[in-house]
Structure 1
Amino acid sequence: MKSKKELIIGLVSIVGIAGLVVGFYFLKGQEIWKIRTVYYTHYNNSGGLNTGRPVNLNGLQVGIVTKVSFQPPNINRVLVEFELNDPNIKSITKGSQMVLNSDLLSGPYLDIKWKDTTSFYNSNDTIPSTVSLALEDQINERLLPLEKKTDELISTADSAIKTIEAIFSRNTDNLDQSFEGIKNAINNFERVSLNLDTLIKSQKYRIGEILYNVESITDNLKESNDQISNLISNTAQITDTLAKVDFVGTVDKAKKSLEEANLILYDLQHGDGTLTHLIQDSTMYFQINEMLSEATRLIENIKTHPNRYLQFSIFGGRDKSILDARDEKMLKKFAKDSLSK
């Protein structure tokens, strides 16, 4: 019974110790049964770096700091131990550097400055280190421009205050006049608003009619929407038709017709035809008029005295002269002029 009790106590003690060990490594961010890839680097000053701080690559955490201590026997050197826990990063390439960086909010951490090479460091190797811009330097870098702008702002404000003091001390009368003008402007605005309110109240009925008419117009436009759409469609069709018309060809044809008309007019003016003589020679014009006049008289004479021109003999007798001397002379002249032309 006693041995059984001691066995239980021993088992509980072992489990408790194991739990403490596992919890200790868990709090440190380490896994007990995992093969660890451990590296070392060193700095002159840790800058507040301690165990559990992240090791980053391109902004992502790929490892954790496991130990920060002096590098004996030189106490001016700080040895930093860290391990990789990202399955995608098995080891660090040669030529890479461990940068001690610091952030205003998260504090110090290690950053891997990766170099693409084909050779890698082995576990427990020491990797070259470098220090980024210190936190104090970062703060100074950001605060110095702000301090400069603050000084400029204070100087500008001081100049503005001095200017205002000068204005108030020298131009008090002008300021009084300005304030009086502002007061008068406010009073005028109040009167205008009162008059406007009175006008609106007095013309309330007419304003209602105007609004009613506007509403009627909008209703008519809404009802005529289809007609307006058809009008726009017809206009679009007309413009499309006009766009398809061959204006260039039409203009060319008109130009060609004008050129031909010019040639005809030129021939009439400089040619040797009948129309040219008729246009340029007035004698021919008067002769034609005279001939037409004589022909008209002859036709009228034939209509008036047809028996003078048409006589028939059943027995084959000899025809008598059917024209008098004047008519015979006129016919001969008409025939002669006709043949000569």
Structure 2
Amino acid sequence: MKISKEVKVGLLALVAGVILYIGFNFLKGVDFFSPTKKYYIVYNQIDGLTVSNPVTLNGMTIGRVDNLKMVTSQNNKIVVQIQVDEHIVLGDSTSAFIANTDLLGGKSIDLKLGKNSRTFENGDTLKGKIEKNITEMLSEKAIPILTNLDSTVVNLNKIFGDELGTSVKTTLHNFELASGDLKLLIGENRKNLYAITSNLSAMTSSLAQTEKELKPLIAKMNHFADSLNDLELKATVANANKAMENLSSITNKINSGQGSIGALVNDKAFIDNLNSAVKNMDKLVIDLRNNPKHYFSPLGQKPKKGYVAPE
């Protein structure tokens, strides 16, 4: 069967229309593949709520606003139709708040759940409430502040009254007089001020020139001081090296037996005699302590018999 070009164009236009419709509704939040339930909410005013605004629960989008209708027979109340995921259970404790989503005035319906005594079915009506917007909250905070400020101003006026105004006027008048006197003083001493300014400028130039001349001199003095420090340090190091060389020479001579000290240190016989003399002296001291009468007997008296000399 051969299909004409007109039929093909018609089918293509139909498919394109269906795709366009589905895409447009999908961008508005309509999900054709998820089952939903329909609920109604009645508000006195909706504060800028529009079709396709989101319906949220605990911050998560679970549906959208499907339709808005004004009921003139009920004092122009507005009936809002919403579609919500059928897995979300709503009941008589559920409240639907019109909330602000951003500072630019975006709106959404925020559902608050509680303990239900009855579960709502498709087509039931929820309780509608409106959250305070930013303007209302700021107004509530600002009005008490403005009231207190106004009361403070009134109290200040009562306390100070005309005295405050008089004091301010007197202060301003004195300030004007002082400004006039200062202006007159500057006018009378303009030449002197100009001369002082010129002298200061000349002094500054002279100081700058003097600084330029002093810099090389200071550099030379620093160099001279560094040279003196180097000379003193070199002389000290040289003297220390010379003293160390002399000490090393003396030590070598002693170790090699040169001189009196070297002979005494390296002569074994002298050391042995010295040790023997020290031992004899030690024995003599011990015997003197034990037998003092033997050494210090009266003149003409012989030492006691039985005395044994120390070995």
TM range, smaller chain: 0.3 to 0.5
Q: Select the structure with the greater relative contact order (CA < 8 A; seq sep ≥ 6).
A: 2
TM value normalised by structure 1: 0.42
